[in-house]
Every structure is written in structure tokens, then in C-alpha cells.
Amino acid sequence: MEKPQELVSIIVPVYNAGSYIEETIAMVQAQTYQNWELILVDDHSSDDGRERIEKCIAAGDKRIRLIVRPANKGAADARNTGIQNAGGRYIAFLDADDIWMKDKLERELAFMKEKQAAFVFTAYEFGDENAVRTGKVVHVPPVLTYFKALSRTVIFTTTVLLDTDKTGRELIQMPNVKSEDTATWWKLLRNGFTAYGLDEVLAVYRRPVKSLSSNKLEAIRRIWNLYRREEKLPFLYSCYNLFFWAVRASLRRL
């Protein structure tokens, strides 16, 4: 007798994403792996995103859940709210403006079970503001440990899948810092977990021309603060990692 599929909780922080959110919901509904719950955490948006989500829920898909927050507290806190309300063994993160391939969950879950892993991620491709694929692919290593991860931010949040039976839920709570996702991956790796990379493009990173990540000085400041304040790395070791991080980040965008 075939074993029933295990539930995947997909957590989406939503802030003024009304122009994307219906597409995002439809994209999840089209996944080849169908045993999921979609937890949309509205972070006190001021657009019509909430109404659009409620319209999708009213259409009858009981796998979609909306959590409305009374105040804007940022993506980290929104994701943590999603984690706290998740019913699935597996946690997947998806940003409202990014794109998944239709077999993303199926392929990644199979890979996770093959590797008997707690933490997996995949390759991805840059898209423009309309999510049109640009051909710029970020390939990922087969294995990523803590010390290797410090000099490369190759883990894209929208590609991550976690097995909470192995990690627990406390460890995957995101800190309230800039680049909270990177800080969380480093925390998991620092605590002895290994991240396994599936080098298949299963997501598209929508990158508007004036996106936050395009601000290079701000990106450098964020990663430096993670080294010094969160990881408490020595000054020279921080400089070493920052140099190789900057080289890899630049090559990734060529």
C-alpha cells in the first residue's frame, strides 16, 4: 500500500504584493505535489492584496490560509508567524513575487529523502521585473557546510525546504536583523546541519531594477553586520569572508 504524502507548509510573507499574489496562489495550486498548505501572512499591507487573497479562498481551496497582522513588523516576523502556525512536517518558503517551477516541491522532496537531509535548496535563475527569465543561472554546490557558507550567499530563500522533524521549529525561527534568511541558514549550519544543493533550476528570482538587493553598499553592510554581530567572527576572518563573498556575488550577476 502506497504511503500517504506528507504535508508541506508553504509560508509566504505578503506586503503590498497585490499585483503578484493571485499568480503566486495559482502557481502553488499547479504544483505536481499536491499535499500542501499555503500560509499567507499579510504584514499589514496597504494595497488590495488581502482582498485578492480572500477572493481566492472564497473559491473553495481549503488548503489556503490567510493570517492578517495588525502591524507591519517585517518579513522575518511574518515568516516566524507562518512557522508557528504551520501544520506540516516540511516547511518551504516562497516570496510573493518569485516563481516556482511546477515540479519544484516534488523534485525537492524526492531529493531530500534521497539524501536523508534536513535542509535542502536548489539552483535558480534571475528574472526581470516581469519574471521573464534572463538566462543568468545561479548553480549550487552539492553540499554546503557552515564554513563554506560564510563566503557565499548561494542559498535563495524561495528554494529552501526544511524537515522540522529533524531541525525542530525553534532553530528555524528567523532573527529580527537585516538578511534574516542568511542568518537563519548560518544558524542551522552552525548547529551541525548540512545543506544539500539540488543543481536544478526550480525557481525564478524576480529582480526589479531598483530592488533592495541591487544596492551593493547596503548588501555589503548587511553581510558585514552578520559576520560581526550575529556570528561574532574576528575582524580579519570577517574581511576574508567578505572578500570572497563580494567576488562570488559579482560573478553571480554577470
Task: Let me know: does 201 contact 125? Beta carbons within 8 Å.
Answer: yes
- In the structure, what pLDDT confidence band is assigned to residue 80 with cuts at 50, 70 and 90? very high
Domain count within the chain: 2
Length of the chain: 254
Least confident of 142-146, 236-240, 250-254: 250-254
Shared-domain flag, residues 92 and 125:
no
**CATH, residue 45:** 3.90.550.10
Going by pLDDT thresholds of 50, 70 and 90, the confidence category of residue 71 is very high
148 and 217: one domain?
yes
Instruction: Dig out the grid coordinates for 139 from the structure.
Output: 548553480
What is the DSSP annotation of 188-212?
HHHTT--EEEEEEEEEEEE--TT-G
Between CA 34 and CA 38, with CA 37 as vertex, the angle to 5 degrees is 110
Which range marks the domain in which residue 247 is found? 100-254
Which residue, among 93, 138, 84, 106, has the nearest Cα to 253 in the 3D structure? 138
Question: Which of 51, 66, 97 is the last residue in one of the domains?
Answer: 97
Cell triple for residue 137? Answer: 543561472
- Please choose, from the candidates 52, 80, 77, 76, the residue with its C-alpha nearest in 3D space to the C-alpha of residue 66: 52
Q: What percent of the chain has pLDDT over 90?
A: 84
CA end-to-end span of the chain: 50
The last residue of a domain, from among 73, 97, 121: 97
pLDDT in tens, 7-51: 999 999 999 998 999 999 999 999 999 999 999 999 999 999 999
147 and 84 part of one domain = no
Which of residues 60, 80, 97 is at a domain's end? 97
* Per-residue confidence (pLDDT) for residue 210, from 0 to 100: 56
Flag whether pLDDT at 5 surpasses 90: no
The residue type of 186 is W
Residues 6+ apart with CB under 8 A from 191: 171
Q: Name, in order, each residue with C-beta under 8 angstroms of 95's C-beta and a sequence gap of 6 or more.
A: 12, 13, 157, 158
Q: pTM of the predicted model, to two decimals?
A: 0.93
**Tens of pLDDT, residues 185-213:** 999 999 999 999 999 999 999 887 655 44
Asked whether residue 200 falls in the same domain as residue 223, the answer is yes
At how many degrees (to 10) do helices 75-85 and 180-190 cross?
50
- CA distances to 18, 40, 64 from 54, in Å: 12, 11, 9
**Number of Cβ atoms within 10 Å of the Cβ of 102:** 14
Which range has the worst mean pLDDT, 100-109, 138-147, 206-215, 229-238? 206-215
